[in-house]
Amino acid sequence: MDSNRVRIGIVGVGQISAQYLQTLPDLPELELVAVADLDADRARQVAADQGVVALSLPDLLAYDDVDLVLNLTVPAVHVEVGTAALEAGRHLYAEKPLGLSLADAAPMVQLARERGLRIGSAPDTVLGTGVQTARHLLDSGVVGEPYAAAVAWSSPGHEAWHPAPYFYYSPGGGPLLDMGPYYLTALVTLLGPVERVSGLSRRSSRLRTVATGPQAGTPVPVTVDTSVQALLEHRGGTTSTVSLSFDVRASRRPLFEVYGTTGTVAVPDPNTFDGLVEVWTAATGEWRPVPAAAGYAGAGRGVGVADLARALATGGPHRASGDLALHVLEIMDAIPRSSAEHAAVELATTVERPEPVPLGSGVATSAG
């Protein structure tokens, strides 16, 4: 084992873990040492494939070789597992969302602060060249002063492709908590924190069934809203409109545009790390593609963990932070609350925009 690396223990080796396991070997700041899962056979298989040990959750938290717990469990237990990791003295990086609600997750963030431990949280896609290049354009004044943004994402529902989509329609899921973190984290990264939220939220009456795999044809109970719309007021006066849905059969979305006084930036889907950034300015009168100008090139899921590891080494802040994730979680809390109360909601949390990521700064692979 390399003592200069942050040693990682993964809790939860389900479907999303494959993307992390593909990226982690390319991140020189990190070393995977252990995995745990409720399915012990699955944990043993992943451990054998990765050349690490399979442990129970208590044993992984007590394992001296683990510095940081990468929590890839289902959203309903993110706070339970994350709190246990912090109480065991481990740094924490969690899949999104940070918790099911602000009230659920805030004590965990406070615990980390009290213990002098770091919390990071997905999505780290905003650290890639797509969102970071868009931010570079905005910060450089290429489109003048940003004053508004529009975001729209939709799908017919994850039951169309996921073999066991039930948690997407349970608390912690739905288009808001499943997809919202990508778009809201990108909006805060680009335009700064949100101060007030107005929202509408509804639940489709459509009956859903699993479309693929051994459970095909099984009904999917729906206990969360399946379409949400929101108006966000950012600090400084910029506004964003957000629409997220599991109810749309077909669309040309996603849409992500930021409007400035002299032009528009088209932002690639923040559910990806890269993608085409385009800009239209009054000076040119046409759209033009923009080469990558900022961000971790060649990045994949886990680059936020590596960014946290680098911050531990330097003593500086990490970008995909628990404070950022908590602020995004409060925004998501506020949307259905605003809908129910027919009133705008003032937010209690705030966060500074994370530091921009210079192009090719070496936390991810050097490709690109």
Q: What is the 3-state secondary structure (H, E, C) of the chain?
A: CCCCCEEEEEECCCCCHHHHHHHHHHCCCEEEEEEECCCHHHHHHHHHHHCCEECCHHHHHHCCCCCEEEECCCHHHHHHHHHHHHHCCCEEEECCCCCCCHHHHHHHHHHHHHHCCCEEECCCHHHEHHHHHHHHHHHCCCCCCEEEEEEEEECCCHHHCCCCHHHHHCCCCHHHHHHHHHHHHHHHHHHCCEEEEEEEEECCCCCCECCCCCCCCCECCCCCCCEEEEEEEECCCCEEEEEEECCCCCCCCCEEEEEECCEEEECCCCCCCCCCEEEEECCCCCEEEECCCECECCCCCCHHHHHHHHHHHHCCCCCCEHHHHHHHHHHHHHHHHHHHHCCCEECCCCCCCCCCCECCCCCCCCCC
Tokens of 1: 């084992």
Residue-number span of the structural domain to which 57 is assigned:
6-124+300-346
For 64, residues 6+ apart whose C-beta sits below 8 A from its C-beta are: none
Distance, CA of 259 to CA of 241 (rounded, Å): 12
**CATH number of the structural domain spanning residue 218:** 3.30.360.10
pLDDT number for residue 1: 47
CB atoms inside a 10 Å sphere around CB 190: 26
Do strands 255-260 and 146-154 pair parallel, antiparallel, or not at all (unpaired)?
antiparallel
CB atoms inside a 10 Å sphere around CB 103: 11
Indicate whether 265 belongs to any domain.
yes
pLDDT number for residue 4: 81
Buried b vs exposed e over 205-217: b needs ≥16 C-beta within 10 Å?
eeebebbeeebee
Q: Is 221 exposed, middle or buried (0-12, 13-18, 19+ CB in 10 A)?
A: exposed
Q: Is 105 left (phi over 0), alpha (psi -120 to 50) or beta?
A: alpha
Distance, CA of 43 to CA of 45 (rounded, Å): 5
Indicate whether 367 belongs to any domain.
no
Verify that 136 and 284 share a domain, yes or no. yes
Q: Judge contact between 234 and 192, C-beta under 8 A.
A: yes
Q: Is 254 exposed, middle or buried (0-12, 13-18, 19+ CB in 10 A)?
A: buried
Verify that 119 and 134 share a domain, yes or no. no
**CATH number of the structural domain spanning residue 326:** 3.40.50.720
pLDDT number for residue 252: 84
In tens digits, the chain (368 residues) has pLDDT values of 456 899 999 999 998 999 999 999 999 999 999 999 999 999 999 999 999 999 999 999 999 999 999 999 999 999 999 999 999 999 999 999 999 999 999 999 999 999 999 999 999 999 999 999 999 999 999 999 999 999 999 999 999 999 999 999 998 899 999 999 999 999 999 999 999 999 999 999 999 999 999 999 999 999 999 999 999 999 999 999 999 999 999 998 789 999 999 999 999 999 999 999 999 999 999 999 999 999 999 999 999 999 999 999 999 999 999 999 999 999 999 999 999 999 999 999 999 999 999 998 655 443 32
Distance, CA of 126 to CA of 279 (rounded, Å): 18
Residue type, position 37, single letter: D
Indicate whether 364 belongs to any domain.
no
Indicate whether 365 belongs to any domain.
no
Verify that 105 and 174 share a domain, yes or no. no
Distance, CA of 283 to CA of 93 (rounded, Å): 44
Number of structural domains, the chain?
2
Verify that 231 and 188 share a domain, yes or no. yes
Verify that 107 and 202 share a domain, yes or no. no
Verify that 164 and 79 share a domain, yes or no. no
Verify that 52 and 66 share a domain, yes or no. yes
Residue type, position 4, single letter: N
pLDDT number for residue 364: 45
pLDDT number for residue 362: 52
pTM (two decimals)? 0.95
Verify that 254 and 220 share a domain, yes or no. yes
Verify that 23 and 155 share a domain, yes or no. no
Distance, CA of 165 to CA of 365 (rounded, Å): 32
Verify that 279 and 166 share a domain, yes or no. yes
Distance, CA of 56 to CA of 77 (rounded, Å): 16
Distance, CA of 326 to CA of 104 (rounded, Å): 10
Verify that 39 and 15 share a domain, yes or no. yes
For 41, residues 6+ apart whose C-beta sits below 8 A from its C-beta are: none
Indicate whether 314 belongs to any domain.
yes
Give strand pairing partners of 279.
265, 288
Nearest to 198 by CA among 44, 358, 34, 343: 343
Indicate whether 352 belongs to any domain.
no
Indicate whether 361 belongs to any domain.
no
For 115, residues 6+ apart whose C-beta sits below 8 A from its C-beta are: 86, 89
Indicate whether 177 belongs to any domain.
yes
Verify that 101 and 197 share a domain, yes or no. no
